[in-house]
């Protein structure tokens, strides 16, 4: 088993949702501590229905949900025995992680947890070696061992009380090497995948918001899980979010998944517990595209044949003897052409529409050498303008 080519929903949810600004509003907007921590006394997400979240993800073709059990603010979204700064001490009073875990189990979805190494609430959470820090909270300065024992206790709870966990998502590398934490996770959750932002190396790398059109066509050499949010300014709920275009999101997902990565697409539920429609609709629309790809994003084998492509720089993958040409950034015309190919195709199909495309092996006047048009496998009739808002994937079945 590898953590490869899985599509999942990232969920950033905490008391910060009440501000409608960003999950790190406390530090980034320099809020007063008492004012921030008092949000816990108002957190009462009466509309939280974990089934709605889980089914939104499942209907989009996703296989797992990764939930922020504890973000940098240190607020715990489960009923931890090691802190009072937790969901069961809010007016809502229920263990939302448990509710989400039960819902995932009911709907056949996997559950992952996110846990922040920085902690702006714990008296010994301050770690000057790492980033995303607030300030030392204790008069005694720092005591990494006390904080690490808190982390260990909480990890034990998370890995013992919420059923099988699929991945463990540490955040913000603490720059402290303590392999015993990942070992503890593995001893309680055999088969789990752990990311590379924790206290030792972990299993997979985590490029974040990392999408530059036209970059990188090679397969990843290490297990990778890319992540991005549906909006640009925040991971947690933001009232005036700058939402990404469908073109950008599908391009990013295609470019990462075609190269073998898993992909977490994030939403920020609001303080009522709902995933607001602006967020949910983007998951649905991306999911609609994703399902039309018919699993072509899950063929992680790189096709290294030298096709000599004209008309774009596709990522080329293979699965069951079929070849997939991925154009995450779309096509610049209604055709593309291959100078070389193993044999003539039996069929060429545009996965976005499910329709067959025409092809011919013919000389193309603009592609010439020594003054003569060279023959190309010319694949035509692609409605590239109509598909301008999504990544384009074309399947070729050879004879």
The least CB distance from residue 206 to ligand GLC, in Å, is 7
Contact 66, 10 (CB under 8 A): yes
Measured from the CB atom, the residue of 195 and 317 that comes closer to ligand GLC is 195
Measured from the CB atom, the residue of 133 and 380 that comes closer to ligand GLC is 133
Contact 329, 251 (CB under 8 A): yes
Measured from the CB atom, the residue of 239 and 304 that comes closer to ligand GLC is 239
CB proximity list for 335: less than 8 A, separation 6 or greater:
311, 378, 379, 380, 381, 382
The least CB distance from residue 208 to ligand GLC, in Å, is 5
What is residue 220's DSSP assignment?
P
CB proximity list for 48: less than 8 A, separation 6 or greater:
92, 96, 99, 269, 272, 273, 274
Measured from the CB atom, the residue of 266 and 352 that comes closer to ligand GLC is 266
In DSSP terms, which residues pair with 388 in a beta bridge?
none
The least CB distance from residue 171 to ligand GLC, in Å, is 5
Measured from the CB atom, the residue of 24 and 154 that comes closer to ligand GLC is 24
Strand arrangement of the beta sheet that strand 225-229 belongs to:
193-194, 167-171, 110-116, 64-70, 7-11, 262-267, 225-229
Ranked by CB distance to ligand GLC, the top (closest) residue is: 235
Measured from the CB atom, the residue of 207 and 375 that comes closer to ligand GLC is 207
The 10 Å Cβ neighbour count of residue 319 is: 15
Contact 120, 73 (CB under 8 A): yes
| Residue-wise DSSP of 31-98 | --HHHHHGGGGG---TT--HHHHHHHHHHTT--EEEEEEE-TT--BSS--SS-SSBGGGSSS-S-HHH
- What is the pairing mode between strands 7-11 and 392-398? unpaired
Q: List interacting residues with ligand GLC (CB under 6 A).
A: 12, 23-24, 171, 208, 227, 235
Measured from the CB atom, the residue of 26 and 220 that comes closer to ligand GLC is 26
Cα 24 to Cα 13, 16, 75, 112, 334, distances in angstroms: 11, 8, 12, 21, 45
The least CB distance from residue 236 to ligand GLC, in Å, is 8
The span from the CA of 39 to the CA of 271, in Å, is 10
Contact 326, 393 (CB under 8 A): yes
């Amino acid at each position: 088993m590898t953590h490869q080519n899985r599509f999942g929903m990232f969920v950033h949810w905490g008391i910060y949702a009440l501000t409608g600004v960003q999950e790190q509003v406390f530090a980034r907007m320099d809020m007063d501590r008492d004012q921030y921590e008092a949000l816990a006394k108002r957190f009462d997400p009466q509309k939280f229905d974990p089934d709605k979240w889980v089914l939104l993800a499942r209907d989009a073709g996703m296989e797992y949900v990764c939930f922020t059990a504890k973000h940098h603010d240190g607020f715990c979204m489960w009923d931890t025995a090691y802190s009072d700064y937790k969901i069961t001490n809010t007016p809502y009073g229920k263990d939302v992680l448990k509710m989400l875990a039960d819902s995932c189990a009911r709907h056949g979805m996997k559950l992952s947890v996110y846990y922040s190494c920085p902690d702006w609430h714990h008296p010994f959470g301050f770690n000057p070696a790492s980033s995303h820090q607030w300030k030392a909270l204790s008069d005694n300065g720092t005591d990494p061992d006390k904080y690490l024992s808190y982390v260990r206790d909480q990890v034990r709870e998370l890995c013992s009380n919420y059923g099988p966990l699929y991945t463990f998502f540490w955040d913000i590398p603490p720059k402290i090497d303590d392999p015993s934490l990942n070992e503890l996770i593995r001893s309680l959750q055999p088969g789990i995948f752990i990311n590379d932002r924790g206290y030792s190396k972990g299993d997979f790398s985590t490029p974040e918001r990392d999408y530059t059109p036209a970059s990188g066509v090679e397969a990843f050499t290490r297990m990778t899980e890319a992540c991005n949010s549906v909006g640009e300014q925040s991971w947690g709920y933001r009232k005036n979010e700058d939402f990404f275009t469908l073109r950008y999101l599908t391009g990013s997902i295609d470019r990462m998944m075609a190269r073998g990565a898993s992909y977490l697409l994030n939403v920020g539920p609001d303080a009522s517990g709902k995933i607001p429609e602006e967020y949910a609709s983007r998951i649905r629309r991306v999911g609609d595209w994703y399902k039309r790809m018919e699993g072509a994003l899950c063929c992680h084998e790189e096709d290294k044949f030298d096709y000599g492509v004209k008309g774009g720089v596709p990522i080329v993958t293979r699965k069951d003897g079929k070849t997939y040409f991925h154009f995450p950034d779309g096509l610049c015309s209604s055709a593309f052409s291959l100078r070389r190919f193993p044999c003539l195709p039996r069929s060429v199909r545009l996965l976005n529409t499910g329709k067959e495309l025409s092809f011919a092996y013919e000389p193309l006047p603009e592609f010439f050498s020594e003054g003569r048009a060279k023959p190309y496998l010319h694949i035509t009739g692609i409605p590239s303008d109509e598909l301008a808002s999504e990544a384009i994937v074309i399947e070729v079945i050879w004879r």
